[in-house]
Structures are given as C-alpha cells and as structure tokens.
Amino acid sequence: MAHRLTAQAEADLDQIWDYIVQESGKLEIARRQVVSLTDRFFLLTKHPYLGRPRDYDLGAGRRSYPVDRYVIVYRIEGQNVLILRVIHGSRDIQAMFRV
C-alpha cells in the first residue's frame, strides 16, 4: 500500500506549520509536529484499518486517526490510503464534511 494526500490535506499541513511557527516562533516545533503527522501516514499505509470508521458522521468509507491534538481523516482506495484532511481536534470536523 501507498498513501496520497488531497490538495486540501497538503494545505492543512501548510496551515498547521504556519500556525505553529506564528504562535511559537520556533521552526523546530512546527517541524516536529508535521513529521509526527506525516509519520502516521506511513503507519496507516501499513495498517489501513487502524483508524475508526466514520461512515455515520463523515461519510461512507471515511476513517479517522488521532495524532496529538489533530485528527487525520482518510479513506482506503483499493491498495492505497487517501489522506483527505488533517484537522485540529477542536474544530467541527463533521461540518467540514457536510455536503
């Protein structure tokens, strides 16, 4: 299995980086957080069913996996894991996936 990121997931990581640097003033803290998140993408590639199913609230086939204060939302597509979003846990995740 491999993983891919949507454009929105890539933008989420950029926003997380920017926010942490702005708030802390430290590039190393931002780097560690983003590395921690991206390391979990590889974990999910090896164990795609590790995250909990979110069919009932985020939509069919979607799963979530918590990392620190963030939540990775993804789905399994054939032999790949598609990272849909990387969202701070305090945000209204359900609202982000409403159609």
Task: List the chain domain ranges.
Answer: 2-97
CATH no. for 2-97: 3.30.2310.20
Rounding to the nearest 10 degrees, give the CA dihedral for residues 63, 84, 59, 64.
20
* Residue with tokens 């795609």, as numbered in its chain: 48
Q: What are the tens digits of pLDDT across the range 42-54?
A: 999 999 999 999 9
Q: Which pLDDT value is given to residue 96?
A: 87
Q: Mean pLDDT for the chain?
A: 95
Report the C-alpha gap between 95 and 17 in whole angstroms.
Answer: 23
**pTM: predicted TM-score of the whole model, two decimal places:** 0.93
CA 75 vs CA 9, 26, 50, 81: distances in Å? 12, 32, 11, 6
Q: Which pLDDT value is given to residue 98?
A: 77
User: What's the helix, strand, coil split of the chain in %, to 5?
Assistant: 45, 30, 25
